[in-house]
Chain A
Amino acid sequence: MRKREYLGQLELMVLLAAIRPAKDAYGALISREIAEKSGREVALASVYAALERLEEKGLVVSTLGEPTAERGGKARMYFKPTAVGLKAAREAQQTLLRLSSGLSTLKGETTA
């Protein structure tokens, strides 16, 4: 694997949250998904910073929507995972499963 191509924890969470919605995801929605599923509040600026890194790595693509009055005339940016992004998420999931399989301490058992 080349340098800086690995996914950090926040990046993986953001990528998975961007994959989850049926329609295109946007910053606030991704932040809400992460908060609901992980119980961890992530600042919107951190989500956007992670999305920027994911886009640089070619794992998501962004499109700009129309500006609306309820957003103070500011446009919304939508994010969609790419095929490479989906593959990276799948690989990360499989790696985590392989690493965690058979770990008795994770099941609450004590090790001698």
Chain B
Amino acid sequence: MSERTPPALALWLLERCGSGSRAESLAGDLIEEYGQGRSRGWLWRQVAVALGVAMLRFMRTMTWIILLRASLRLAAETAAVLAIVSIVDQSRRTQVSGDALNLGFIVTVATLIAVASLALLALIGTQSISTRRRRPAEALAWVLMLAFGVIALGTGTLTRADTTRSAAATTGSGAGERAECTCR
């Protein structure tokens, strides 16, 4: 049995190349081969390739998770925003013209809420697959996006309500003028 042991850094890097029996076997083969007289250069080349292969595997695995998470997030956010817009629009319509809640509206909102909830649940589910932590920059971007969404939705609703009120007032004054003309 040889006394030669690989450098600690090489072993540490090899442990980062993956887990499981295959990664263990690869590390064992490298330790054994190095112990049998392979050069340091050979070992470092092997470690570099092992790191490259592990990185490629990680990127291949993560690509579909990132795409899946982005799609789920988009679906959840779109459905939630559409549901909010529908509710706001319906309440405005109810106030202005006195329209009652119809079945179509209830089904639409229920479907949108269900889609948003399912997408959100699936998103939380994929969190365990994607083990990376959210970076501060990403968290900030999320907060800014949320703030933008709330402000945009609020401003849009207020503008629309104001426009509707102005239109109603104009229609009302026009009717008054017409009535006055008829009297003359």
Interface of B, helix, strand, loop or mixed by DSSP: helix
Contact A71 B28 (CB under 8 A): yes
Contacts of B53 in A (CB 8 A): 45-46, 48-49
Residue in chain B with minimal CB distance to A72: B31
Looking at B2, B17, B22, B57, which has the most chain A CB atoms within 10 Å of its CB?
A: B22
The yes or no answer to A28 lying at the interface (CB within 8 A) is yes
Residue in chain B with minimal CB distance to A74: B28
Residue in chain A with minimal CB distance to B21: A64
Contact with B along A19-45 (1 / 0, CB 8 A): 000000011100000000000000111
Residue in chain B with minimal CB distance to A49: B53
Q: In the complex, A52 Cα to B57 Cα: how many Å?
A: 12
Contacts of A27 in B (CB 8 A): 25-26, 29
The yes or no answer to B1 lying at the interface (CB within 8 A) is yes
Contacts of A64 in B (CB 8 A): 21, 25
The yes or no answer to B46 lying at the interface (CB within 8 A) is yes
Contacts of B31 in A (CB 8 A): 70-72, 74
Contact with B along A45-71 (1 / 0, CB 8 A): 110110110000000001010011111
Q: In the complex, A75 Cα to B21 Cα: how many Å?
A: 8
Chain B interface size, as a band, is 20 to 34
Q: In the complex, A52 Cα to B5 Cα: how many Å?
A: 27
Q: How far is the CB of A17 from chain B (nearest CB, A)?
A: 14
Which one of B5, B24, B30, B57 lies within 8 Å of A75 (CB-CB)?
Answer: B24
The yes or no answer to B114 lying at the interface (CB within 8 A) is no
Chain A interface size, as a band, is 20 to 34
The yes or no answer to B49 lying at the interface (CB within 8 A) is yes
Which one of A44, A51, A70 lies within 8 Å of B46 (CB-CB)?
Answer: A44
Q: In the complex, A74 Cα to B14 Cα: how many Å?
A: 12
Contact with A along B1-15 (1 / 0, CB 8 A): 110010000010000
The yes or no answer to B32 lying at the interface (CB within 8 A) is yes
Looking at B32, B46, B57, which has the most chain A CB atoms within 10 Å of its CB?
A: B32
- The answer to whether A44 and B22 touch (CB under 8 A), given A70-B1, A72-B11, is no
Interface residues of B (CB under 8 A from A): 1-2, 5, 11, 17, 21-22, 24-33, 35, 45-46, 49-50, 52-54, 57
By Cβ-Cβ distance, the 10 closest A-B pairs, closest first, are A74-B28, A77-B25, A71-B28, A43-B49, A45-B50, A28-B29, A72-B31, A45-B53, A45-B49, A27-B29
